[in-house]
């Protein structure tokens, strides 16, 4: 099967239905992150079919879709874990090409995957600076490669306080002793500390209880208050509609549209996601 060439024309996936192009207080002439015509195939399987995506400054963009809709493929292309076959990425209006997740990190895009990638045996501060350890000043740091553990603990605590995370006080506490929600908080705090441009959260409330999920949602709101744009991928529709400014809907590798939680109900979004409802201009069947 050839790579898809047809493009969904109904809304182009970037402005919410029923919302003006200004799109609220965070709208800007320059998008923080933009994907244009992304195509990714895996043999005969279509992962992405000409997908567009726009992330505005200081907003939370939700991404929803059924299994196999292309959500994971999309965020992997945005975070450098995969390279698209066609299309382009723009960061703050400038074309970028990520050959690896490290490239994306260096550009200011941090991703928190569902697996979290925390080290349970290490303490909170060590996890915050995992792979970015700070050396002590002077010969001890340059020659003996001694780490500035006190400084890392201090800055880790400052980051926790900045995000309003009050349940984590001791930066020496091992991550293996933390609850699921607290571990998620450590991963999100690390992403916020180093994600200067964008934070991508993949199913951050999966397998969490109600109280822990609410704590994570509060963290997302706090990131928005700090004007740090967030891409939130989740199967939990109430959570997405609770915190997102716009919702990007994936279906069969295509963007089926972008809607506003203010004008669209979760039930309507599910109908679009499953194909029971189509936005104006969307093709009856995905073009391949």
The pTM assigned to this predicted structure is: 0.81
**Does residue 131 belong to any structural domain of this protein?**
no
Residue span of the structural domain in which 61 resides: 1-108+195-288
Give the count of domains, the chain.
1
Taken in order 248, 71, 82, 10, the sign of the CA dihedral is: negative
Q: Compute the distance between CA of residue 142 and CA of residue 144 in angstroms, rounded to an integer.
A: 6
**Does residue 51 belong to any structural domain of this protein?**
yes
**Does residue 133 belong to any structural domain of this protein?**
no
**Does residue 116 belong to any structural domain of this protein?**
no
How confident is the model over 142-192, as pLDDT tens digits? 788 888 899 999 999 998 888 888 888 899 999 999 988 888 889 888 888
**Does residue 17 belong to any structural domain of this protein?**
yes
Which CATH number characterizes residue 32's domain?
3.40.50.300
Cα–Cα–Cα angle for 118, 33, 219, rounded to 5 degrees: 40
**Most confident range, picked from 2-11, 60-69, 202-211:** 60-69
**Does residue 119 belong to any structural domain of this protein?**
no
Q: Compute the distance between CA of residue 195 and CA of residue 109 in angstroms, rounded to an integer.
A: 5
How confident is the model over 233-243, as pLDDT tens digits? 999 999 999 99
b or e along 193-209 (b: 16 or more beta carbons within 10 Å of the residue's beta carbon)?
bbbebbbbbbbbbeebe
Q: For residue 280, report the phi and psi dihedrals to the nearest 5 degrees.
A: -60, 130
**Does residue 163 belong to any structural domain of this protein?**
no
**Does residue 272 belong to any structural domain of this protein?**
yes
| Nearest CA-CA partner of 251 in 26, 65, 49 | 65
Cα separations (Å) of 126 from 41, 56, 185? 38, 32, 14
């Amino acid at each position: 099967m050839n790579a898809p060439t047809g493009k969904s024309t109904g809304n182009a996936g970037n402005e919410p239905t029923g919302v003006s192009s200004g799109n609220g207080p965070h709208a800007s002439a320059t998008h923080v992150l933009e994907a244009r015509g992304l195509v990714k195939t895996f043999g005969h399987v279509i992962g992405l079919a000409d997908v567009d995506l726009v992330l505005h400054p200081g907003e939370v963009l939700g991404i929803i879709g059924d299994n196999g809709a292309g959500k994971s493929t999309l965020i992997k292309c945005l975070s450098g874990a995969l390279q698209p076959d066609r299309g382009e990425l723009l960061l703050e209006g400038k074309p970028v090409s990520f050959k690896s997740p490290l490239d994306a990190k260096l550009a200011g895009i941090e991703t928190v995957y569902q697996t979290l990638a925390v080290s349970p045996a290490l303490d909170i501060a060590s996890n915050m600076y995992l792979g970015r350890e700070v050396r002590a000043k002077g010969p001890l740091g340059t020659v003996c490669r001694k780490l500035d553990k006190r400084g890392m603990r201090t800055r880790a605590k400052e980051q926790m306080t900045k995000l309003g995370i009050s349940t984590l006080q001791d930066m020496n506490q091992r991550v293996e002793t933390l609850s699921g929600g607290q571990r998620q908080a450590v991963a999100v705090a690390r992403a916020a500390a180093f994600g200067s441009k964008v934070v991508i959260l993949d199913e951050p409330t999966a397998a969490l209880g109600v109280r822990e999920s609410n704590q994570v949602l509060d963290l997302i709101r706090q990131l928005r208050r700090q004007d740090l744009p967030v891409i939130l991928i989740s199967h939990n529709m109430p959570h997405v509609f609770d915190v997102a400014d716009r919702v990007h809907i994936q279906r069969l590798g295509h963007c089926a549209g972008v809607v506003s939680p203010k004008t669209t109900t979760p039930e309507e979004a599910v109908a679009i996601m499953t194909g029971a409802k189509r936005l104006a201009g969307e093709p009856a069947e995905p073009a391949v």
